[in-house]
Amino acid sequence: MGTELPRRNLLKALPLTAAGLVLAASETSAEQRPAEAGRILVAYYSRTGNTAVIARQIRRAMDATQFEIKTETPYPEDYEATVEQARRETQS
């Protein structure tokens, strides 16, 4: 694999990247934000709850509206089973 990051490490880094973006955005004062700042929507899906935490941070930092996307049928708790289900769904 060389210098490639394993998939799980990459997935773990994504919320940290989002948190960095939130911190950068939160440093912008209300006067510097566009006039449509109240029209920001944070829509998210969180299987384990980790993304929900980041979504709440983004919502607070951006003074946005938050919307949780829910699946009709919940994904399995097991990670590998979830990956397999997602693979089947994307092939449909």
Residue 48 within any structural domain of the chain: yes
Tens-level pLDDT at each residue, the chain (92 residues): 444 455 555 555 555 555 555 555 555 555 555 555 558 999 999 988 999 999 999 999 999 999 999 988 888 989 999 999 989 989 97
Give the chain's domain count. 1
Question: Bridge-partner residues for 66, per DSSP?
Answer: 42
The secondary structure element, H or E, covering residue 5 is: none
Predicted TM-score (pTM) of the model is 0.55
CA dihedral (26, 30, 35, 37) in degrees, to 10, reads 40
8-state DSSP, 3? T
Quote the domain boundaries for residue 54. Answer: 7-91
Determine contact, residues 44/52, Cβ cutoff 8 Å.
Answer: yes
The alpha carbon of residue 80 and the mean position of all alpha carbons in its chain are separated, in whole angstroms, by: 20
Q: pLDDT value at position 15? A: 55
